[in-house]
Structure 1
Amino acid sequence: MAAWIERVVTSGTFALDGGVWDVDNNVWIVGDDTEAVVIDAAHDADAIAEALGGRRLLAIVSTHAHNDHVNAAPALAERTGAPVLLHPDDLPLWKLTHPDRAPEGELADGQVITVAGTALTVLHTPGHAPGAVCLYAPALGTVFTGDTLFAGGPGATGRSFSDFPTIIRSIEGRLLSLAPDTAVRPGHGDGTTVGDEAPHLDAWIARGH
């Protein structure tokens, strides 16, 4: 059976640089009736496990290591036996939330994660965080962008470990080159498409944030 996509919205807080903000996060599940992967285990391991049902969880993929994207990852890993995967450039951020526990595996640019016969290709897209990645699933016409690209523009770069010129290079070089009808499924809020966002690149650069 072909893979499909589910969204679970969880709520909690994002904390960095001494600030704390209330946030809703998109947790993406990709799989079929028997197996799945979770993209960004945010806030509520119980809600994510409930959505998984009895399916075998192959991996917990973290698009980056801000606390609101990884705070439920260890609990979900312990519950399911699935490994937590993270790009190594984000280990300093990970350690802010989980100082005594490392991810089980690393993500690398070009790596392919296969679930239910569907390939998810890792695209390293630093800027919002040094180890930020997106996951491109051409068979599903989708790219999961974490906090790299949202409906309306790039992810925030005003805090530690982030850089605006870097995120612009990542978006322009890795995401806007995808087919215009590719669905963008971000870490927060509503989705968009590559074609809807591409015309605004120059405006984002001019805005500088």
Structure 2
Amino acid sequence: MLNHPWFTVTPIDARTFAISEYGHWEKVHSFLLLGQQKAALIDTGLGISNIRELTRRLTTLPVSVLTTHVHTDHIGGHGLFSEIYVHEEDCSWLEHGIQGLSIEQIRADLVRDLSLPLPAGFDAAAYTPYRGKPAGLLSDGQIIDLGGRSVEVIHTPGHSPGHLCFFEATSGYLFTGDLLYDETPVYAFYPSTSPSELVRSWERIAGIPGVSRIYGSHNTLGLDPGIMADVERAVMTLRENNLVSFGTGTHYFNGFSVRF
């Protein structure tokens, strides 16, 4: 395991690494996938420490950033990379910022409840979320070829309009961003979210064949694919009880939950 004062690097296999920020209360994970010609970095974390320096220690391949969605805890290091890709529905947020969330609130959330010291030189009071034009847009069903390794783009709106999951059929790895993780609720109660679309996205990923491991962007690193049966049951329960709407509260299932 590679030592770093802020990031924890966990090899998933010889060509796949989780880059985790356990010192922050959100326990954010980014994922580096190495192909033969290029590498893909799924999200760039909080921006508290330099994730680009870390990826250089892990690979000499050119790195493209695949964005699950444009929330500050997933785009913190975007400015360190030249090739950034995002879904069209989140592109405006990437270029112009997310409306309705003050910079004061962002900065406060960034440094609360820390369990590790902030890296030297990081100034939370000066932190500004990344804004910029992407190198290109990602679309549902698109196949990203890394050279001897390919990843499918799956549009899974709900948590954000342009939220994406990424699936590697060969390994069975499904990277679910903020669509599915354990321990803390998945959020779909902001005005920019959609409970109905999130439930449809849950239903969609539960039907993907060949999933061997689920890698959400927060909390436990790697979930058993058996959770998909629980996701299917959750979808049915929420719909049958007319709970798929704003204001119905937090709903708990076997190993995960959602707040509408």
Tell me the TM-score normalized by structure 2: 0.66
Structure 2 match to 1:9 = 20
Partner Cα distance (2:45, 2:234) in 1: 31
- SS, match of residue 90 in structure 2: helix
Structure 1 match to 2:215 = 185
Q: How many residues align?
A: 193
State the shift of 1:193 in Å.
3.1
| Structure index of larger Rg | 2
State the shift of 1:180 in Å.
6.1
CA contact 1:124–1:133 (8 Å) conserved in 2: yes
Q: Is 41-50 or 122-131 further displaced after alignment?
A: 41-50
State the shift of 1:155 in Å.
2.5
- Alpha-carbon RMSD across the aligned residues, in angstroms, is 2.6
CA contact 1:3–1:115 (8 Å) conserved in 2: no
In structure 2, runs of 5+ residues without a counterpart are: 1-12, 98-128, 242-250, 252-257
State the shift of 1:200 in Å.
4.1
Query: Where does 1:34-183 land on structure 2 (aligned, <5 Å)?
Result: 35-44=38-47, 46-53=50-57, 54-75=59-80, 77=81, 81=82, 83-94=83-94, 95-96=96-97, 97-99=129-131, 101-151=132-182, 155-173=186-204, 175-179=205-209, 181-183=211-213
Please identify which structure carries the higher helix content: 1
Q: What is the one-letter code of the residue matched to 1:26?
A: H
Structure 1 match to 2:32 = 29
CA contact 1:42–1:69 (8 Å) conserved in 2: yes
Tell me the TM-score normalized by structure 1: 0.80
Please identify which structure carries the higher strand content: 1
- SS, match of residue 150 in structure 1: coil
In structure 1, runs of 5+ residues without a counterpart are: 14-21
Partner Cα distance (2:211, 2:183) in 1: 16
State the shift of 1:36 in Å.
1.5
State the shift of 1:32 in Å.
4.9
Runs of 4+, deviation exceeding 4 Å: none
State the shift of 1:187 in Å.
0.8
